Amino acid sequence: MRRRTSRRRRIFIGDIQGCSGELRRLLDRVRFDPATDDLEPVGDFVNRGPDSAGVLRLMREVGAGGVLGNHDLHLLRVAAGEESRKPRDTIDDVLDAPDREQLLAWLESRPFVRTWRDVVLVHAGLHPRWRDPRKALGGLHALDSDPAAEFVTHVRYCTPSGRRPRRDDRDPGPPYAPWFRFTRLRKDHRTVVFGHWSARGLVVEPHLRGLDSGCVWGGALTAWIAEEDRLVDVPAAKAYVPPR
């Protein structure tokens, strides 16, 4: 029997990174139904996990939305000959796939930001000076070399003016702070949904949902169902990447 609902559910999902088994278990857990639900991953569909191609095929099949992450950009740029493979990449299954062009085209068509009346979705974070993220990011293409694309897919810490530290894999200290301490959108009562920050883990604050719970590192894959304000997760089957 189908679940009855007066509006479609938006199911936001943290960084998948090729963890197709965990993704399928999570969709079962939330009782995902493409007839009544929209999937909106935070980006990083691919890389480091065991089945990037499988994740992309499933996302295409169910008509998922979502945004681009830094690992997605890396795959697209490697495919275009603009970047080289890195030692820990696990993207060959996409690059060597018989349906490679279809998978890459689907991924390349993801935007950098998606917005609703009550939610803004990005991969990493928002620049403090962006009053309208769609205006700042809407015209960018996945292969564009642009500071805004770099910021939205990589930021963790910044200053109130948006300056980033040279390294942000650990807290750089003042004047830097987590980017979400400076964003204007939370004051507008819009919930910002993001990923990219597995070291920080799940972030649940007023008008803020950080969903990277480190699945590829052996943590969990997490979903936030906006219409129910409910978090659901499944544990990773294993750690696919050695500890940092």
- The interaxial angle of helices 100-108 and 70-79, nearest 10 deg, is 130
pLDDT digits (tens, 9 = 90+) for 34-85: 999 999 999 999 999 999 999 999 999 999 999 999 999 999 999 999 999 9
Per residue, the 3-state secondary structure of 15-27, as one string, reads CCCCCHHHHHHHH
Average the pLDDT over each of 16-30, 126-140, 211-225 and give the range with the smallest value: 126-140
pLDDT at 146 over 50: yes
pLDDT digits (tens, 9 = 90+) for 94-111: 999 999 999 999 999 999
pLDDT band at residue 173, thresholds of 50, 70 and 90?
very high
Sign of the C-alpha dihedral, residues 215, 220, 221, 226? Answer: negative
Q: Residue 131's CB: how many other CB atoms inside 10 A?
A: 11
